[in-house]
Amino acid sequence: LLRLSAGKVANLRLFEPDLQKLYGVNLHAANLELATSCIAFLGLADFDNNRMLDENVSAFNELPGVTEDSPWFLMRRATTDSLSENPRVSSNDFSSTLTDLKAYFYEYSASYWTSHLRASGKFVPRQVLESAIRLTHRNSNCLTNWSDQYRLASRELVTLPSDLEPLIVAAFFGLIHLANEVLDNYASELQKQSKPLALSWACRMGHVDITKTLLAHGTPVSGAWVEGGSPISWACAS
């Protein structure tokens, strides 16, 4: 499907000229669609009003848009039926099954929204970037929820920083679109204070484009130390 989108499937147009337009998958567009969906899901009011990772995963008790014919409702009803029909199935098993069902897409979104956004190509709609900024707003439940989930699921060697805000998130994950939006349109004293730390994380993670952008916006080259190194020491190490 990727080759179809790029017109690299031999002789296909001779048989069906519309296949490329109908079914070709553009990698950048696909990543943008996934990023948009993940960001929208993580930013739902349910997750902004509730802390997620308590022992009962309480914010998942009533997902938005659940109807009697939705997959979640049908699976919950099937699980309930099996529990009533089979006395050997414990209520703990039932509770665990529901929790697994409810948290699956949240875990995926929290783990990969940044990867999809980074792979979205040169153009990302400003509306998506504004949603990402709201998702990374300092001290919000949305930020706390997805970042806690990311830390639980991540297998990366470098731990996600604890003191997060939009520019730090952009520098850590290499989100150049987000960094440019913040630096160009969200100037504040807080962002000014964050730039040295963002430069250090950009160098630590090897994101050259964000390093250049931060320097172009007057960020001091001394930066701030992260994981035992300054921006220059991390750049030299890499």
pLDDT of residue 222: 83
pLDDT of residue 94: 46
pLDDT of residue 31: 97
pLDDT tens profile 128-138: 999 999 999 98
Q: Tokens at residue 144, please?
A: 């706390």
pLDDT at 139 > cutoff 90 = no
pLDDT of residue 21: 80
pLDDT at 122 > cutoff 50 = yes
Q: Give buried/exposed letters for 65-82 (b at 16+ CB in 10 A, else e).
A: eeeeeeebeeebeebeee
List Cβ<8 Å contacts ≥24 apart for 230-234.
Answer: 230/200, 231/199, 231/200, 231/202, 231/203, 232/203, 234/200, 234/203, 234/204
pLDDT at 96 > cutoff 70 = no
pLDDT of residue 87: 55
pLDDT at 56 > cutoff 50 = no
Which of 76-80, 200-204, 207-211 is predicted with the least confidence, judged by mean pLDDT?
76-80
pTM over 0.85: no
Q: Assign 55 a pLDDT band (cuts: 50, 70, 90).
A: very low
Summarize the confidence of residues 190-209 as an average pLDDT.
91
Q: Assign 76 a pLDDT band (cuts: 50, 70, 90).
A: low
Q: Assign 169 a pLDDT band (cuts: 50, 70, 90).
A: very high
pLDDT of residue 200: 95
pLDDT at 17 > cutoff 90 = no
